[in-house]
Amino acid sequence: MLGHIQDWVELLFRWGHFITGIAWIGASFYFNWLENQLDRRPAQNRDGIAGHLWAVHGGGFYYLEKYQVAPGKLPEVLHWFKWEAYFTWITGFVLLVLVYYLGAESYLIDPRVADLSVATAVAIGIVTLVASWLVYDVLCRSPLGERPGLLSLVIAVLLVLLSFGLTQLYGGRGAFIHVGAAIGTIMVANVFFVIIPNQRDLVDAVKEGREPDSAKGKAGLTRSRHNNYLTLPVLFIMLSNHYPATYAHEWNWVVLALIMAGGVLVRHYFNVRHLPQRKVWILPAGAAFLLAAFFLTMPESREPVASEDSADAAEVGTDVVWNIVENRCLACHSADIRQGGIAFEGKEDVERLADAVHRMVVETETMPPGNATGVTDEEREKFHRWFQGLDE
Ligand code: HEC
C-alpha cells in the first residue's frame, strides 16, 4: 500500500513537472518566435510601436503590437509569465527527492564509481544546485558580464567540468540528472532573482513616470538569452534516463557535453534563421556534435573472455542464465514486484526480453541499478555468450 501511494505521488509530480515545463518553455519559445517575426517596418506601425504581427490560431485572428519602450499609461490587466517557471522547479525538486534522494542507493550511488553514503550523496546534490547558481550569478555580475561571448564560453566550460565532476561521484544516471537540475535551477533563479524584479522595475518606472534603469533591462536580457540556449540541453537531460547508452558510457561526461553542444547549436539556428546573414553552417555543426555522440556511444563488440577451461567456453544455455536471473534479478522483477514493468516469470520471459536484457546487463551494465545484487563479471559474460548463442 505504501509503495502504491508513493508511486502515485511520484506520478502526480512527474505529470505536473511535465505540464508546467511545457507551459514555461512553450511560452518562452512563443515569445522568442514573436520577437523574431514582428513586422518592424516603421511605415507599417503606429507611433511608439516597435512592430506588429497578425496570426490565426484556433479559429480566430490575433493582432499583437510590441511597444518600443512602454505604453504611456499601464493597462488595467497586465499578464506576467512566471508561475510556470516556479512550478517547474518546485515539482522537479520534489521529483529529485522522491526518485534520486529516497532511492539514492539505486539511482544516485554507484559503488563502482564512488562508495558514498546516502547522506553524503544527497548533500553533494543539494550543494551542487546551490553552488551552481551562486557561481553563475557572480560571473554574470562580474566584469565578465560586459563580454557576453566570453561569458557564455566560461559557462559552457564550467558545465562540462560539472558533468565531469559529478560523473566521478555518482552513477551516470544520477550525475546527468544533477547537471540538468543545476541548469534548471539557474534558469528558474534567473527568472526569480533577475528577470522578474527587473521587469517590475520597468513597470514601476512607467507608473512613476521616470526613466527605467537601462542596466537592469540589459541584465535581464542576458539572463533570458542564457535561458534560451539552455532549454534544449536541459530537455535532453530530463529524458536521458531512458538512454543508458549515453549515461552509462565510460565517457559519459563527454557524451553529455557533445549532446549539449548539439542542442545549443540547434537552438542558435532557430534564433538567427530569420536574420539576413543566415548562417548555413549552424545546423550541420550541431549535427556533427550529435553524430560524434552517436559514434562514441556505439556498442563495442565484446569478445568472449578466452578461457583455459573448455567447458567454460561452451555455449551458454537459457538454463544457466535463468539461474543467474533467479539470484540476481527476481528481487525486483518477479511477478509481484515488476520494477520498470518487467517481470521474469520463467525462461520464456528472459528469451522474449533478450535484447533489453543484453542491453541493460552487458552493453551498458545498468542492471541491476548500482549493481545492487552484486552481479559478477563472469555472470555478465555468461549473459553475453547466451545472447550470442540466441542469434545463431
Ligand atoms: C534493485 C532492483 C533491481 C534489480 C536487482 C534488477 N533490476 Fe532491472 N529494473 C529495475 C528498475 C527500477 C527498472 C526500471 C527502469 C528504470 O526506471 O531505470 C528496471 C528495468 C529493467 C529493464 C527494462 C529496461 C528498459 O528500459 O528497457 C530490464 C530489461 C531489466 N531491468 C533487467 C534486469 C535484469 C536482467 C536484472 C538482473 C541481472 C535486473 N534487471 C535486476 C530494478 C532492478
The three cell numbers of residue 186 are 539557474
- The residues near 151 (Cβ < 8 Å, ≥ 6 apart) are 139, 140, 144, 145, 222
Q: Whose CA is nearest to atom 25 of ligand 1?
A: 356
| 313 has pLDDT over 80 | no
Q: Which atom of ligand 1 is nearest to the CA of 379?
A: 38
Inform me whether the pLDDT recorded for 340 exceeds 90. no
Most confident of 64-78, 159-173, 370-384: 159-173
Distance from Cα 273 to the centre of ligand 1, integer Å: 43
CA pair distance 349, 357, nearest whole angstrom? 10
Q: What is the pLDDT of residues 328-337, one digit of tens each?
A: 999 999 988 8
Question: Which atom of ligand 1 lies closest to the CA of 324?
Answer: 38
Range 135-142 average pLDDT: 97
How many beta carbons lie within 10 A of that of residue 296, not counting itself?
16
Show the ligand 1 pocket: residues with CB < 6 angstroms: 106, 325, 328-329, 331-333, 339-340, 342, 353, 356-357, 360-361, 367-369, 372-373, 375
| pLDDT computed for residue 156 by the predictor | 97
Cell of 56: 490565426
Mean pLDDT (whole number) for 134-144: 96
Q: Which phi-psi region, left, alpha or beta, contains residue 209 (left: φ > 0; alpha: ψ -120 to 50)?
A: left
* 3-state DSSP percent of the chain in helix, strand and coil, to 5: 70, 5, 25
For residue 134, the model assigns a pLDDT of 98
Beta strand ranges found along the chain (DSSP E): 49-57, 60-67
For the stretch 299-310, pLDDT in tens is 776 665 555 554
What predicted TM-score, i.e. pTM, was given to this entire model?
0.85
